[in-house]
Amino acid sequence: MKYKGYVGTYTSKTSEGIYSFDFDGKIISNVKLFSKIDNPKYLAFKGDYIVAVADYDNGSGVSLFDKEGNELDRLVYEDVTSCYIEAKGDYLYTTNYHEGTFSVIKFENNKLFLVNKTLIKEKAGAHQVLFYKYNYLIPCLFLNKVIIIGEDYKIIGSIDFEEGSGPRHGVFSKDKRYLYVIGELSNKLYVVDMELLEVVNSINILEDKLFVKDSSAIRISDDDKFIYVSTRTEDVISVVGVDNKNVKLLQVFSSEGLHPRDFILEKGCLIIANRLSNNLVSISLKDGLMDKIESVVKLPEGIAIIMEEIKNE
């Protein structure tokens, strides 16, 4: 199988925007600039298009690109860049860490229109959008809560976490009975029972109870048996065994770079963006555990990765 990947970056030093790369299941190759834009901090696929949060001369917002890297439209609607974007149906959803907002954008005829902007709380640290039934779940790092927003885009409840946890990102089990949330400030993985809307278990995801903050991205395997979490200040990926609400730390493995802000999991391999060492790394898995470094390539200031299989080649 062949894949095409895209990496969002900070453009604070040498990066010029969004980069693309090829992947053959093990080896990363052909890294090149896809589109020049300021601070494309997060990316998502929207059908045959790519959307990115970004900065512009007159503010911040969302850009729409075709697969050739041409910007088709942009919507400027905030003062600082959002940190997350996701697409579902005809809509895009963003969260803004600094403003503490959740925004809804309509995608229609290759144009972007702002539908709603919900203020959760200024500087709430809103970090992600998760879809659950007809609601939206927003992990808010500085509130120690996952805020629940209803169909009308109003806050209807929350899932509470311990003080100092800093919920950042989460992943669901396939049946959505459990939500697994990484705490950026506690280095803990929390298990939420979605029937109870309560945290029912937690573990430290670093060895020897090391406490350094800065846990970041989280992914779950297709069979629900393994969860992978990155910690930036330790430059590691933690592997956690999963059995419903039961979780166990199995392995802590080097990210082969500095500051692994994001990574993706694809059919027996992890691809990791190490921001401060300016590289992209592929590491193969064996029985769910990190096994072998397959490739390391240069890529400046990478912080967000998306990838899709190339079909009909």
Query: pLDDT digit string (tens) for 60-72?
Result: 999 999 999 999 9
Counted domains in the chain: 1
Task: Say if 154 falls within a structural domain.
Answer: no
pLDDT band at residue 226 using 50, 70 and 90 as cut-offs:
very high
Per-chain mean pLDDT for the chain: 97
Average pLDDT over residues 129-144: 98
Per-residue model confidence (pLDDT) at position 160 = 99
- Whichever domain contains 197, its CATH number is 2.40.10
Average pLDDT over residues 191-211: 91
Centre a 10 Å sphere on the Cβ of residue 291 and count the other Cβ atoms it contains: 15
Per-residue model confidence (pLDDT) at position 207 = 82
Task: Say if 140 falls within a structural domain.
Answer: no
Predicted confidence (pLDDT) at residue 208 exceeds the cutoff of 80:
no
Q: Residue 105: beta bridge partners?
A: 92, 114
Task: Say if 204 falls within a structural domain.
Answer: yes
Per-residue model confidence (pLDDT) at position 213 = 84
For the beta sheet containing 302-309, the strands, ordered from the edge strand earlier in sequence to the opposite edge, are 28-36, 17-23, 3-9, 302-309
pTM as predicted: 0.97
Per-residue model confidence (pLDDT) at position 313 = 57
Task: Say if 13 falls within a structural domain.
Answer: no
| Cβ atoms of residues 149 and 127 within 8 Å | no
Average pLDDT over residues 3-7: 98
Task: Say if 272 falls within a structural domain.
Answer: no
Predicted confidence (pLDDT) at residue 209 exceeds the cutoff of 80:
no
| Closest to 205 (Cα-Cα) out of 177, 179, 226 | 226
Percentage of the chain lying above the pLDDT 70 cut: 99
Of 50-64, 94-108, 206-220, where does mean pLDDT reach its minimum?
206-220
Average pLDDT over residues 161-170: 98
Average pLDDT over residues 179-184: 98
Q: Which residue has the tokens 């912080």?
A: 303
Task: Say if 215 falls within a structural domain.
Answer: yes
Per-residue model confidence (pLDDT) at position 210 = 65
Q: What would the two tokens of residue 152 be?
A: 């009308």
pLDDT tens digits, residue range 7-41?
999 999 999 999 999 999 999 999 999 999 999 99
Predicted confidence (pLDDT) at residue 267 exceeds the cutoff of 90:
no
From CA 99, how far away is CA 123, in angstroms rounded? 5
pLDDT tens digits, residue range 99-133?
999 999 999 999 999 999 999 999 999 999 999 99
Q: Which domain holds residue 247?
A: 163-219+237-252
Average pLDDT over residues 61-85: 98
pLDDT band at residue 171 using 50, 70 and 90 as cut-offs:
very high
pLDDT tens digits, residue range 233-248?
999 999 999 999 999 9
Predicted confidence (pLDDT) at residue 278 exceeds the cutoff of 70:
yes
Task: Say if 174 falls within a structural domain.
Answer: yes
Average pLDDT over residues 133-153: 98
Task: Say if 89 falls within a structural domain.
Answer: no
Per-residue model confidence (pLDDT) at position 311 = 83
Predicted confidence (pLDDT) at residue 2 exceeds the cutoff of 80:
yes
CA distances to 21, 49, 256, 274 from 55, in Å: 23, 19, 30, 22
